[in-house]
Amino acid sequence: MLVAGVITSMRRKGLKKTIILAIAGAASFGVGFLTTLHAQPPDRFDMKVREDFFAGYAGNKDAFARGMKACEGALAKNPKDAEALVWQGGGFYFQAGEAFRAGDQQKGMELYSRGLEEMKAAVTLSDTVATHIPRGAVLLAGSHYVPPDMAKPLIADGVADYERTLEIQKDYFNTLDTHARGELLFGIAEGYSRLGDTAKAEAYFTRIKNDLPNSAYAKRADTWFSTKSIPANQTGCIGCHTAK
């Protein structure tokens, strides 16, 4: 009902096309820092599918189909494979945007709901970085491009995923590279800012400035301290080559 109401509201305001196109790309926005996984086996599931999904989100339909098929195969063997479930959920979230763009609102809403449900099930099944990071990245990215009443729960869940990741990684977090630490801390800080929790946002932006001085993330923190917000087009994943 919430999604249907939001779609109706967007249609009246003439915003439907812009927002739905953004939803279509949101699943690929920000999920590029799964290097935050630590001490995982080299055959972990994300390494099997991530390149296909990233290429798929960029427009390669064959690659996207391979990624979804890999998830389907893993889930056929084990319906509770949390890592396959979270990636498949992100794929459904992406497909929802494509359906909306094609004008099929019913299918879009079904895929959107299924994507969110599968990602939620994944983090419930497996309280690990391998599930929290993919879901958190998708939710925080996608939340920039939907109306506020629809965005708030996405932001809250995304921030919770990132903070849980930080807790899991606390014993080795400081050994991670600038990119991994910056993406996580910035996601939490910017998420809290959009939730209206200025105190927590300030605490995390301060940590970024202290722990990652002279980095791209510190520059973003400076922007926040000056304006108390970060433009959506400046919140994307900073590539590893620019994060130093």
Identify the band that residue 231 occupies on the pLDDT scale cut at 50, 70 and 90.
confident
Residue 20's pLDDT is what? 46
Q: pTM of the full predicted structure? A: 0.84
Q: Across 16-20, 25-29, 36-40, 138-142, which has the greatest mean pLDDT?
A: 138-142
Residue 82's pLDDT is what? 97
> Who has greater pLDDT, 23 or 67?
67
**12-16, 43-47, 50-54, 69-73: which range is least confident on average?**
12-16
| Residue 164 near residue 132, CB atoms below 8 Å | yes
Residue 239's pLDDT is what? 63
Q: DSSP for 44-74?
A: -HHHHHHHHHHHHHTT-HHHHHHHHHHHHHH
Statement: residue 13 has pLDDT above 50: no
Quote the tokens at residue 112: 């959107």
CA dihedral (148, 199, 140, 163) positive or negative: negative
| Residue 156 near residue 195, CB atoms below 8 Å | yes
> Who has greater pLDDT, 10 or 85?
85
Mean pLDDT of the 116-143 span: 94
Statement: residue 240 has pLDDT above 50: no
Identify the band that residue 14 occupies on the pLDDT scale cut at 50, 70 and 90.
very low
Q: Which phi-psi region, left, alpha or beta, contains residue 240 (left: φ > 0; alpha: ψ -120 to 50)?
A: alpha
CB burial of residue 49 (10 Å; 0-12, 13-18, 19+): buried
The rounded percent of the chain whose pLDDT value lies above 70 is 80
Statement: residue 135 has pLDDT above 90: yes
**15-24, 66-75, 103-112: which range is least confident on average?**
15-24
Statement: residue 3 has pLDDT above 60: no
Could you tell me the residue ranges of all domains in the chain? 2-150, 177-244
Statement: residue 213 has pLDDT above 70: yes
